[in-house]
């Protein structure tokens, strides 16, 4: 098995931007007509905390976080290429994001995923996240699943 190298960067990273295009294409299929609603909250300009996973110099996955409110980091833009899934890469990215957030004095992480992404829900549950009341723009959005974890 090849070694995964995690790199801390920001949203100017070209590989991150390429992976996010793939993520949005995937979500467009899964979310259908609702995609445009979610897309408005997933802009990647000026995200200062991005992790890109590389395998043999190829970017295979990514994730990011931004401050939601004091002490709370919101996990965003989690994605692993289809051919690289099922090997724990997303869990490694998530753990690195949590470590970085903790280093910056965040005490909890929150995130939003969708009922149409059951593998994402399983990843977050396995990583210690629990379902919470929907927050912010996701209030009353039927397909949203909001989760939280103390770090």
- Rounded to two decimals, the pTM is 0.90
Q: Which CATH superfamily is domain 4-107 in?
A: Gcn5-related N-acetyltransferase (GNAT) (3.40.630.30)
Question: Tokens representing 135?
Answer: 């927050």
Provide the residue ranges of all domains of the chain, joining segments of one domain with +.
Answer: 4-107
pLDDT in tens, the chain (151 residues): 568 999 999 999 999 999 999 998 887 776 666 545 555 555 566 799 999 999 999 999 999 999 999 999 999 999 999 999 999 999 999 999 999 999 999 999 999 998 888 999 999 999 999 999 999 888 888 889 999 999 9
Report yes or no: 112 and 145 within 8 Å, Cβ to Cβ.
Answer: yes
CA dihedral (96, 101, 63, 10) positive or negative: negative
């Amino acid at each position: 098995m090849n070694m995964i190298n995690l790199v801390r960067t920001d949203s100017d990273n070209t590989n991150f931007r390429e992976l996010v295009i793939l993520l949005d294409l995937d979500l467009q299929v899964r979310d259908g007509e609702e995609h445009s609603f979610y897309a408005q909250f997933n802009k990647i300009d000026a995200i200062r905390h991005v992790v890109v996973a590389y395998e043999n110099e190829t970017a295979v996955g990514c994730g990011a976080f931004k401050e939601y409110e004091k002490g709370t980091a919101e996990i965003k833009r989690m994605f692993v290429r289809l051919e690289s899934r099922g090997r724990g890469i997303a869990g490694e990215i998530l753990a690195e994001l949590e470590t970085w957030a903790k280093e910056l004095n965040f005490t909890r992480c929150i995130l939003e995923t969708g009922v149409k992404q059951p593998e994402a829900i399983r990843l977050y549950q396995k990583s210690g996240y629990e379902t919470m009341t929907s927050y912010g723009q996701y209030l009353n959005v039927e397909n949203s699943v909001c989760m939280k974890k103390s770090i």
